[in-house]
Amino acid sequence: MSKTDTTKKTRTRLSPKARKNMILDCAAKLVAGEGVSAVTMERLGSEAEISKALVYNYFPSVTLLLQTLLMREYRHLRRLQLEAAESSETLEQMVRRVTKVYLSYISDRGLIIERLSLEPSVANSGDPTKYGRDPAVNYLAEILCDNFNIDIEVARATVDISYGMPTAAGQYLIHNDINLQTIEDITVAMILGSYQAIQKRYETSLKTLIKRPRNKAV
């Protein structure tokens, strides 16, 4: 056996799913380090050590690849949030864990999500935040409904709107030099405060009135 044969690298044959994720991982690295414009089929082939033709085999265009990457980021984030909610025993613990998961994820990969979201051709492919969001919102809304006697529609609207607080906190975290724990504490206090305010309002002015039939004059 020649020296060339003994030193030749053995390529690992990956499944289509693993190969696709590897390409997306390379794209995420480029987006985080150099921006969206750095992602080309040639560059991805080089980074993944595969041919450009093979990249095209999985993703017909760069736009589709970036759309898939953004949706993958959101799917993973929503799954982590739902798991955090399901593992909690109190409302405060639930809000704390879900918020921590979100902010930790944004602290690590928020720049990727932000840069992808700023590309119209990528962000306008649909609402990527919908992937996994509805089950999480419904789960939390049912908890508010069952434990705090809030109408399910009011609870669902409250939870859905409250999702904007961690999003705003994540944006602040990306662009400001501030402690992660501080942002987490502020966000948790704001979310819990909104839930408590809705519960109090629902017990009075927001709750549907029960009306007795009016007696008719004979």
Residue 155 belongs to domain spanning: 71-202
Q: Is the pLDDT of residue 6 over 50?
A: no
Q: In the prediction, which pLDDT does 45 show?
A: 94
Q: In the prediction, which pLDDT does 36 show?
A: 95
SS3 per residue for 66-105: HHHHHHHHHHHHHHHHHHHHHCCCCHHHHHHHHHHHHHHH
Residue with tokens 């930790």: 104
Q: In the prediction, which pLDDT does 11 show?
A: 56
Is there a domain that residue 210 lies in? no
pLDDT band at 206 (very low <50, low <70, confident <90, very high): low
Residue % of the chain over a pLDDT of 90: 52
| Residue 30 and residue 99 in one domain | no
Q: In the prediction, which pLDDT does 125 show?
A: 59
Q: Is the pLDDT of residue 164 over 70?
A: yes
| Residue 84 and residue 155 in one domain | yes
Q: Residue 123's domain is classified under what CATH number?
A: 1.10.357.10
pLDDT band at 41 (very low <50, low <70, confident <90, very high): very high
Q: In the prediction, which pLDDT does 8 show?
A: 44
Interatomic CA distance for residues 218 and 211, integer angstroms: 21
Q: Please write the tens of the pLDDT for every residue from 73-103.
A: 988 988 898 889 889 999 899 999 999 999 9
**CA torsion, ordered 80, 81, 86, 90, to nearest 10 deg:** 140
Computed over every residue of the chain, the mean pLDDT equals 86
Number of structural domains found in the chain: 2
Q: In the prediction, which pLDDT does 12 show?
A: 65
Q: Please write the tens of the pLDDT for every residue from 93-144.
A: 999 999 999 999 999 999 999 999 899 889 875 554 455 678 778 888 998 8
Is there a domain that residue 3 lies in? no
Is there a domain that residue 214 lies in? no
Q: In the prediction, which pLDDT does 140 show?
A: 85
Fill in the amino acid letter for 69.
L
Is there a domain that residue 170 lies in? yes
- Mean pLDDT, residues 191-201 taken together: 89
Is there a domain that residue 213 lies in? no
| Residue 100 and residue 34 in one domain | no
Interatomic CA distance for residues 37 and 54, integer angstroms: 20
